[in-house]
Amino acid sequence: MQLNYLASVQKQFRYAKLLGDQTFAQLQEQDFFWQFNPESNSIAIIVNHLCGNMQSRWTDFLYSDGEKEWRNRDREFEDIIKTSAQLVDSWERGWTYLFEALATLNEDNFDTPIYIRNQEHTVLEAINRQLGHYSYHVGQIVFIGRMIKGSDWKSLSIPKGGSAAYNADKFSKEKSKTHFTEEFMETPESKLTDDYWQNRYKAEQTAWDVGVISRPIKEYLDQLTDKNIKILVPGAGNAHEVEYAFQQGFKNVYLLDWAKQPLENFKKRVSDFPEEQLIQSDFFKHVGKYDLIIEQTFFCALPPYRRHQYVEHMSRLLESTGKLVGLLFNKTFEKEGPPFGGSLEEYHKLFGPYFNLKTMKPAYNSIEPRMGSEVFFIGVK
């Protein structure tokens, strides 16, 4: 029973998170800080509170009181979060505390008493308490998003007037045993996990991989004279840019990817590449300092709501006067991503606050299939 419950409640938590993710994806930077009146909370404040609660409740979940001495709950309702990138970072961090704690539960420790402000709970009661609390706040986030978007809001449930068609479709099918969240969880953005990318590489479903270094990036590297600079290529995949740079004498180049398979592919191709410069990690958790970061089909693979977080983290990883250089798609795609497209106007607004954009213009030397649909950019921190 306990294991069935844990599997079910994790799905409900993930569904609640998804509703927040899908709301964020519809909003602009300023929307996260909008308040109905001075007494109401913005989405940013709600997320700040959720993150604080999650960190307190789920840290050392089984063995210490859920209301930690170091928590400052009142401060969670202040304007701490200043950018959407900070908001997404807090949002992801909070849910990570939760899911990592749930992963430690099993039949042996399920009877452990849980205390919150000295009040004893069963594990089940403690989890249900947080499920209700988080669903309440996620509902607020969705409602605020809907108020802001008005008629442009994309419904996250059955649209108005759609109940009869929805029910007819459901009752036309055989009875089945599936969790009610499953039909909602399969979205283009929710599937973008490390396993998703691992399976894509294993199956060689890598249509974005042109098999060689992209021409604009090759020409940029060819004009560099300092071979000692420290270079990072995140979301590198099969990493033709890393291979070329290494062969040209850039020995301080690092490959980072979430999935294991492309790193293994790379090691087979470039057997003398230093093992310690192959990094399997979540980009947003990576720490380090680099002189140059190369962008090649990583940005377009991220859900759009993480773009501000991407730009901010890129800035954080670069040394003073470090450069972010690469290619972005200057188009929208008919099919749902990845890849996710964009425009020059969007990119100027996105990168401008963090980088001095020395170049941000259509690439003149793209490969033929991408000619006219790529932007080459150089941003200096």
pLDDT at residue 309 in the model: 84
pLDDT at residue 227 in the model: 95
Backbone φ and ψ for 344, nearest 5 degrees, come out as -60, -45
Residue 270 pLDDT exceeds 70: yes
Domain region containing 244: 194-380
* Shared-domain flag, residues 209 and 140: no
* Shared-domain flag, residues 120 and 227: no
d(CA 107, CA 201) in angstroms, rounded, equals 36
* Shared-domain flag, residues 238 and 360: yes
Residue 7 pLDDT exceeds 90: no
* Shared-domain flag, residues 156 and 213: no
* Shared-domain flag, residues 109 and 257: no
Which domain-ending residue is among 185, 215, 234? Answer: 185
Residue 154 pLDDT exceeds 60: yes
* Shared-domain flag, residues 323 and 241: yes
* Shared-domain flag, residues 256 and 127: no
* Shared-domain flag, residues 211 and 351: yes
* Shared-domain flag, residues 273 and 206: yes
| Locus of tokens 């790529």 | 374
Percentage with pLDDT > 70 across the chain = 92
The domain that holds 145 is classified in CATH as: 1.20.120.450
pLDDT digits (tens, 9 = 90+) for 18-59: 999 989 989 989 999 999 999 999 999 999 999 999 999 999
pLDDT at residue 195 in the model: 64
pLDDT at residue 143 in the model: 97
The domain that holds 280 is classified in CATH as: 3.40.50.150
* Shared-domain flag, residues 18 and 162: yes
Mean pLDDT (whole number) for 244-268: 92
Q: Specify the number of domains making up the chain.
A: 2
* Shared-domain flag, residues 175 and 241: no
* Shared-domain flag, residues 349 and 326: yes
Cβ burial of 133 (10 Å; 0-12, 13-18, 19+) is middle
| Locus of tokens 């609390």 | 133
